[in-house]
Amino acid sequence: MLTFRRLIIAATALTVLSGCATQNPYDNQGQAQNSSGMSKTAKYGGLGALAGAVAGAAIDHNNRGKGALIGAAVAGAASAGYGYYADKQEAALRASMANTGVEVQRQGDNIKLVMPGNITFATDSSAIASSFYSPLNNLAGSLKQYNQNMIEIVGYTDSTGGRQHNMDLSQQRAQSVATYLTSQGVDAAHLSVRGAGPDSPIASNADVNGRAQNRRVEVNLKPIPGQQYQQQQ
């Protein structure tokens, strides 16, 4: 009979194999891989499986080896499911936001879109600029296709003017984006808005270009707690 230690090794091997076996359709684009060449799908699935192995062994005291293998399989599949979903969503967003001025960032489980002030809002305004409609339309289309996210919209301002005015203005900017996205069919139940005013600048407020970068909107896409993610076709 295999010892518990040998079964944990087997569970770890299952982790690696299950990650490698999940084909990422965007491997050739380089968008959804880390520096080692492993897709985020494989990485999340592998880490989930290893954690599941430990948890499964702890729960099944009578047959720790069996519990480890079951825990690895279940947790690995769930983690890889979200990783695969996020990989595809990230690649689709990068394609739809190409040449729009919107930056797409991947931060672990989350995807962030940074929309700078030179395409979003004029100084001291929460009215959507004409140059902003095309990126927002692209975003709305993507969010309707990939609709299994919590969507946090955060508005920012530059440092010009009083703090309370900027806090109110940033909230209004975030709300303007949310209102437009829902008008285009994005599910309002998954949306939240927040105004951060001049906090967390990404450039210097000492010049016009820096203030334009700070006068931005960020859209944060996060997994829905408890959501079972299926492979998006």
pLDDT digits (tens, 9 = 90+) for 87-105: 999 999 999 999 999 999 9
User: Is there a contact between 136 and 128 (Cβ–Cβ < 8 Å)?
Assistant: yes
Q: Does domain 102-223 have CATH number 2.102.10.10?
A: no
| 103: CB partners within 8 A, 6+ apart | 97, 113, 114, 116
Q: How far is CA 53 from CA 14, 77, 224, in A?
A: 10, 12, 24
> Where do you find CATH 3.30.1330.60 in the chain?
102-223
pLDDT for 21: 43
**Predicted pLDDT of residue 169:** 96
Measured CA distances, 9 to 1, 3, 43, 126 (Å) = 14, 10, 17, 56
Q: Kindly calculate the radius of gyration of the chain based on its CA atoms and give it in whole angstroms.
A: 21
Spatial strand order in the sheet of 217-223: 103-107, 110-115, 217-223, 149-155, 191-195
- Return the HEC string of 113-167: EEECCCCCCCCCCCCCCHHHHHHHHHHHHHHHHCCCEEEEEEECCCCCCCHHHHH
Can you give the pLDDT at residue 61? 53
At 109 the pLDDT is: 86
Residues 6 or more apart whose CB falls under 8 angstroms from that of 137 comprise: 184
CB atoms within 10 A of CB 191: 21
pLDDT at 16: 47
Question: 191-233 pLDDT, tens per residue?
Answer: 999 999 999 999 999 999 998 889 899 999 999 888 777 654 5
Q: Confidence band (pLDDT; 50, 70, 90) for 6?
A: low
